[in-house]
Amino acid sequence: MTTTTSGSTSERWLNYVNGQWIEADSGKTISVVNPSTLAEIATVPDSGEAETKAAIEAAHTAFQSWSTLSAYERSDMLMRWYHLLMRHQEDLARTMTAEQGKPLSEARGEIAYAASFISWYAEEAKRLYGDIIPATSSAKRMFVLRQPVGVVAAITPWNFPAAMITRKVGPALAAGCTCIVKPAEQTPLTALYMAKLAEEAGIPAGVLNIVTGEASVIGDTLFADSRVAKVTFTGSTEVGKHIMRASADTMKKISLELGGHAPVIVLDDADAELAAEQTLLSKFRNAGQTCVCANRIYVQKGIRPAFEKLLADKIRALKVGDGMDPDSAIGPVIDEDGLNKIQRHVSDAVERGAAVITGGSRREVPKHAGYFFEPTLLTGVDSSMLIMKEETFGPVAPIVEFTDPDDAVRQANDSPYGLASYVFTSNINHAIRLAERLQYGIVGVNDGLPSSAQAPFGGMKESGLGREGGKYGIEEYVEIKYISLGLY
């Protein structure tokens, strides 16, 4: 899997194509940097068209045999992979923290979450039922089969380097598809490590391929090739739109998990402690770099002072530091652009009249050159501010006060995004009525962490197309085939 360059602590990792660990033909590499220290920890191949085409060829060939295995055989291999992922949880988590920055405890949690998609879909492989439809004529029989779509290209982001892959590859492999994964440039090591374990689990050559390198070249090669039947993507709305356009000529099936701008609504009748705790979990996990994290916190007038104080106290208790330090709750953000965007959102809000309750600036961490930002609480925020329109992707919680719940719902829905939303209330009537009116694919009611392998995850509006997770997720990887049989 890797060769260590002599005299350096940086390791050289390789692509995984057709069961082989390969360099880019050009010999070029890209650097993988620890966002906490800014030290290079590894290089990966800077692959291009040749390696991508080799992966497509391999996946296309492997599809012929993988898709004709029984669901039970595929399920057994996926379960073996699941057990290996869990056996290597600690090492995988350390690899993830080194390349992504999140606290080690969160990385361990992500590995368990990622692995749960493999075990869940290993089970679901056995339940991909078809139908028999009553025919109008007694001389006909009508059957419906669910068949794998074919070769799947999966393009994944850096914020969840393991789970965003297994959420796609789990159902795809279970259904009988083969995959080419292009992980984010920043976090390819977790992906390659997981592929090594897939190889150990006995998943045959060509069924899972990982190609690292320049996104647009690899992407364009995948999108133009008619042997790729499906593209599944998690990332920005801008790139998602590009993928949709680029996939049109070969009419690929597409699933898109794009940006979000999650509203939280805290009603006067909420349990303030629970609301503050769950909002904290939603907002500050992964230093606020998740597409479902709380971005706009609408708090009703009566509960605002209590909620604000509870949340501020909890935020002040979050320690900022290197993810490997067991005390750290907030690691670095991924890069300088990310840090600058967070600072821009805070400065813009303050210029337009918001007040900083705690945090508000970059944090220097001794002996760490990386990009740390103080966990921040802003109050007096309004809809004119950038932070209320764009994803911040950082540890900043903006509070907006409201009086009328109908107005809060209107403001919450006034967004091009529709991924996740949250409601805190102790009144069941308010809970159901608000949840039904929120134009979001996910609503957490008194729950800041609703994601789970068996539940549908996905967005409305410009947050994307399709759902991942649960019985819904596997539907994205199957074609419906109708067979009409005339009897004689």
Which of 334/423 has CB closer to ligand ADP?
A: 334
Q: Are 378 and 356 within 8 A, CB to CB?
A: yes
C-alpha separations of 465 from 11, 234, 403 in Å: 38, 11, 34
Binding track, positions 97-126, relative to ligand ADP; x by CB under 6 A: ------------------------------
Structure tokens at 19: 């069961």
Which of 125/179 has CB closer to ligand ADP?
A: 179
Phi first, then psi: what are they for 257, rounded to 5°?
-110, 105
3-class DSSP assignment, residue 459: coil
Which of 275/293 has CB closer to ligand ADP?
A: 293
Q: Residues 125 to 164: which contact ligand ADP by CB under 6 A?
A: 155-157
Residue 185 is a binding residue for ligand ADP (CB under 6 A):
yes
Determine which one of 106, 110, 124, 291 is catalytic. 291
Q: Are 60 and 227 within 8 A, CB to CB?
A: yes
Binding track, positions 421-460, relative to ligand ADP; x by CB under 6 A: ----------------------------------------
Amino acid identity at 132 = I
Q: How far apart are CA 227 and CA 408, in angstroms?
A: 47
Which of 184/297 has CB closer to ligand ADP?
A: 184
Minimum distance between the CB of residue 260 and ligand ADP, rounded to whole angstroms?
A: 12
Q: How far apart are CA 254 and CA 243, in angstroms?
A: 9
Q: Are 359 and 315 within 8 A, CB to CB?
A: yes
Which residue's Cβ lies closest to ligand ADP?
A: 219
Which of 162/239 has CB closer to ligand ADP?
A: 239
Length of the chain: 488
Which of 128/165 has CB closer to ligand ADP?
A: 165
Residue 5 is a binding residue for ligand ADP (CB under 6 A):
no
Residue 48 is a binding residue for ligand ADP (CB under 6 A):
no
Q: Which of 96, 93, 88, 91 is nearest to 36 (CA)?
A: 96
Minimum distance between the CB of residue 220 and ligand ADP, rounded to whole angstroms?
A: 7
Minimum distance between the CB of residue 259 and ligand ADP, rounded to whole angstroms?
A: 9
Structure tokens at 274: 């629970």
Query: How many residues bind ligand ADP, per CB under 6 A?
Result: 13
Q: Please give the sequence-ordered ranges of beta strands (E in DSSP) within 259-304, or none if there are none.
A: 262-266, 294-300
Which of 38/356 has CB closer to ligand ADP?
A: 38
Minimum distance between the CB of residue 235 and ligand ADP, rounded to whole angstroms?
A: 3
Query: Is 291 labeled as catalytic in the residue annotation?
Result: yes
Position among 44, 125, 172, 184 found at the interface with ligand ADP (CB under 6 A): 184
Minimum distance between the CB of residue 215 and ligand ADP, rounded to whole angstroms?
A: 3
Q: Residues 206 to 245: which contact ligand ADP by CB under 6 A?
A: 215-216, 219, 235-236, 239, 242
Determine which one of 51, 99, 106, 257 is catalytic. 257
C-alpha separations of 481 from 6, 16, 127, 174, 245 in Å: 55, 33, 17, 18, 26
Q: Are 419 and 463 within 8 A, CB to CB?
A: yes
Minimum distance between the CB of residue 42 and ligand ADP, rounded to whole angstroms?
A: 17
Stretch that binds ligand ADP, among 92-100, 181-189, 374-382, 446-454 (CB under 6 A): 181-189
Minimum distance between the CB of residue 371 and ligand ADP, rounded to whole angstroms?
A: 14
Which of 185/390 has CB closer to ligand ADP?
A: 185
DSSP string, 180-243: EEE--TT-HHHHHHHHHHHHHTTPPTTTEEE--B-HHHHHHHHHH-TTEEEEEEES-HHHHHHH
Report the Cα–Cα distance between both ends of the chain, in Å, rounded: 58
Measure CA 231 to chain center: 15
3-class DSSP assignment, residue 9: coil
Minimum distance between the CB of residue 191 and ligand ADP, rounded to whole angstroms?
A: 10
> Any idea which residues carry the catalytic annotation?
257, 291
Q: Which residues form the interface with ligand ADP (CB under 6 A)?
A: 155-157, 182, 184-185, 215-216, 219, 235-236, 239, 242
